[in-house]
Amino acid sequence: MKTFFVTGGAGFIGSAVVRHIINNTNHKVINIDKLTYAGNLESLIEIEKSDRYHFEQVDICDSSSLNDLFNKYSPNYVMHLAAESHVDRSIDGPGDFIETNIIGTYKLLEAARKYWSQLQDKNSFKFHHISTDEVYGDLHGTTDLFTEETSYSPSSPYSASKASSDHLVRAWSRTYGLPVIITNCSNNYGPYHFPEKLIPLTILNAIAGKKLPVYGNGEQIRDWLYVEDHARALYKVVTDGEIGQTYNIGGHNERKNIDVVRTICDILDDMIADKPENIQSFKDLIEFVTDRPGHDLRYAIDASKIQHELGWEPDETFETGIKKTVEWYLNNTSWWQRVLDGSYAGTRLGLGN
């Protein structure tokens, strides 16, 4: 049995990683999460009673608490997912992104280095930093792909803060010898996604008969990765990946934003006979809105390295994954209703249900 630290384990991707490890291995997981607005322990109800799962409400910017956790649990792996991640929020208020994504990563690296430097078997530890393809900027050609050697050119405060954290991790490896691995992923989607993001926002607005906002002309292209495929990839990387390497993780599913929204509408049209008043198709709710500043046009990942070296590839196509996602939101109304009305915050703060 190995011990995994998963920072941000109550978030969207982090909770998928926690569920994957608990459900598919015999390892122990320590979920370290500050529980900001996007942290939701209700995403972990199915595994919360496992004796191999432990939750610690700790801010990664709190060095003293981090040191205590390393001493208490003696982890073999750190999977660092804790981050502010919404581009629009970073434009409106970049301070939290600088604090969490840069300062927090620095504090976690220092705590990990202190712990690792005292280990007798230094080969028993890895630090896995989970990042984003947005650090690369955007692609202007229609066939270009981000590779692990693509130069960084972040466009938003969010992507700049993640690029900074990537550089810190590599510096701690080069300067101090800390055993690190970095992954950069494409856009994730799937169950338990916080409703402010494009796909869940579209699903829930449509159900409510609200407008479906699409930035600009909707021609922005993203590569979509089903979150449970990503969780499998991350576990594969941290256990079998080579120290010092970077692995790009993508879903091989490039879609224009407008086509994503239209696909969701088509699925809902098939599943919901009783539509909101005055619409024949959910596509009638689509509304183009002013584009956000610095909006990257196209992201696309070359995931051939992780496929060839570690044998990972996604199980879900966009068609299968998006259908599963829509079905999940239709069948789990209590989860997203508690997010939308804010009542999940009571659970986050330990105030009961």
Q: For 227-309, where are the E strands, in sequence order?
A: 246-249, 254-256, 286-289
Q: How far apart are CA 3 and CA 340, in angstroms?
A: 34
Angle at the Cα of 14 (from 16 to 242), degrees rounded to 5?
95
| 343, two tokens | 């009542």
CB 224 within 8 A of CB 186: yes
Q: C-alpha distances in angstroms, 219 versus 13, 65, 160, 348? A: 26, 45, 23, 37
What lies within 8 Å, CB to CB, of 273 at 6+ separation is none
Among 137, 1, 165, CA closest to 81: 165
Residues labelled as active-site residues = 133-134, 158
> Beta-carbon neighbour count of residue 287 at 10 Å?
11
Helix (H, G, I), strand (E, B), or coil: what is residue 234? Answer: helix
Phi and psi at residue 351, in whole multiples of 5°?
A: -100, 15
Q: C-alpha distances in angstroms, 88 versus 12, 75, 159, 229, 292? A: 17, 34, 11, 26, 8
Q: C-alpha distances in angstroms, 4 versus 32, 70, 74, 80, 117? A: 10, 11, 9, 10, 18
Q: How far apart are CA 132 and CA 338, in angstroms?
A: 28
| 72, two tokens | 């208490």
Q: How far apart are CA 119 and CA 125, in angstroms?
A: 9
| 73, two tokens | 């649990």
